[in-house]
Amino acid sequence: MSGRKRFKSIFAGILAVIFLTFDTISRFGGLPSAHAAPPPPEIAADSYILADLKTQKILFSKDPDVPHIPASLTKIMTLFITFDDLAAGKISLDDEVPVSEEAWKTGGSKMFLLVGTKVKLSDLVKGITVASGNDACVALAEYISGNVTSFVDRMNQKARSLGLSTARFVDPHGLSDENQISAKDLLTLVSAYVTSHPEALQFHSLKEFTYTPPGEKPITQFNRNRLLWTYPGVYGLKTGYTSRAGFNMVALCDRSGFSTIAIILGSAKGKSIDEGERERSELVTSMLDYAYRNFTYVQVAEPNSVVGKARVWKGKGKWTEAVAPLGLGATVEKGKEDKLTYTIHMRKDLDAPVARGTKVGEAIFICEGQEVGRMDLLAKNEVPKGNIFRQVWDVIARAFLRAFGRI
C-alpha cells in the first residue's frame, strides 16, 4: 500500500471514531460535566423547598409559591412574636402565666395545662416547641396580647412586615385549616426568625419535655421531629399535621457551617400518624442527603465580621460599619468552590437616624457567571440625626455629588 493510501485509510478511521463518539454523545445527553449535580430526588408532597438557610438559595423545589395549610407550622409565627417581646424586655421566661378556661379546653395536641393554674413562660415555650401544645399557644397569646384575636392580628401584621404575601393566620396554633402560607414564605419567615432570635433554637432542639401540672404526676412528651434522633446535624425546627394539610415539616440542619432548610408541605395524606411521620421523615432525609452529597458551603468571612462602611447622610456621624451577622459565604456544587466570587453593594440612600441592625447593603455571590446567593449587611452602630448645620450641609453635598454623577 502506497504512503498516500495508508494516510487516507488512517484518516478515515479517525473520522469514524470521531463520528461514533459524537453520535454516542448526542444520544446520551451531551458531554458529561465534572461538576453537574444529579437530578434531585422525587418527593411525594404537594409543595417543598430545599435551600441554603444563610442565603436562602433554593437548591430545588416544587410549587414554592402556592399557599398551603401549615397546621402546627403556624406556631413558628407565634414563637417569633414571643421572642420579639422577650428580646424587647416586655415579658420574661420566668413570668408566671395564668391558664384560662379557653386555653385549657383547646383541642388537638396538648401540654395538658390545668385551668386556674399558673405556668412558667419558659415551660410554655417548651410545651410548644416539643409537645406542640395548642393550649400553650392560647395561654401565651392571652398573656402577650390580652386575647387571642388581638394576638392573631399581630401575627398577620408581622407577616406583612416580612413581606409574606401568601400568609394568613386565624389562630395561634394551626388547628384551623383556614391558616395558609406558601413554602417560599415559610423560608422567609424561618430565616428571619432564626436570624433575629438564635436563642430560640435551644428550645427547638429539645428531644423531650416533662411538665408537671400542679398536684398531678409528671407528663413527658417527645418531639415529633424524628430527625433529631436519626439525622446528624438536625437541630429543629417544627412539624405539623391535620388530616387536610397532611404531614408538614420544617427541618434545619448544619454540617461544617453548611446550614440547610428543608420544607415539606402536604406529604403522606391519608396515612396513619405513625406511617405519616415515618414517610415525612424519609422524604426530608432524602432532601438533606441530596444537599450534603452534591453541594458545599464556601465561607469567605466569619460571622459578625465588619466587611465595609456605609455612608450616612444628615447624621451625627458620617459612617456606620457594615457587619455580616451570619458571616459571608454561599453554596455551590462540589468541585466549584474556587469559582465563587462576590461583590459588596452599600446603600446610598441612608439618612439618619440609622438604628443598629438596619440593612445597609448586601453581598452578592457569583459562580460561573450565575448569581448563587445574597446576604444582608447590617449597621454595626447607631447613627443619630445630626444638628441642623450637618443636615443642611449634607443636603448640599449630596446634591452636588449627584450632579457630577459621583453617587
State the binding site for substrate: 238
Count other C-beta atoms under 10 Å from residue 181's C-beta: 25
C-alpha 97/C-alpha 82 separation (Å) is 13
C-alpha 10/C-alpha 318 separation (Å) is 75
**Residues labelled as active-site residues:** 72, 75, 132
Count other C-beta atoms under 10 Å from residue 119's C-beta: 24
CB 245 within 8 Å of CB 177 = yes
Count other C-beta atoms under 10 Å from residue 194's C-beta: 24
Q: Any idea which residue has 458620617 for its cell? A: 318
Tell me which H or E stretch contains 360. strand 359-367
Backbone angles phi, psi at 317, to 5 degrees: -120, 160
CB within 8 Å of 183: residues ≥ 6 apart: 47, 48, 49, 61, 63, 64, 65, 66, 68, 263, 265
Residue-by-residue DSSP string for 70-115: -GGGGHHHHHHHHHHHHHTTSS-TT-EEE--HHHHT--SS-----T
Longest dimension (CA), the chain: 108
C-alpha 384/C-alpha 320 separation (Å) is 11
Half-sphere exposure of 182 (CA within 13 A, CB side): 14
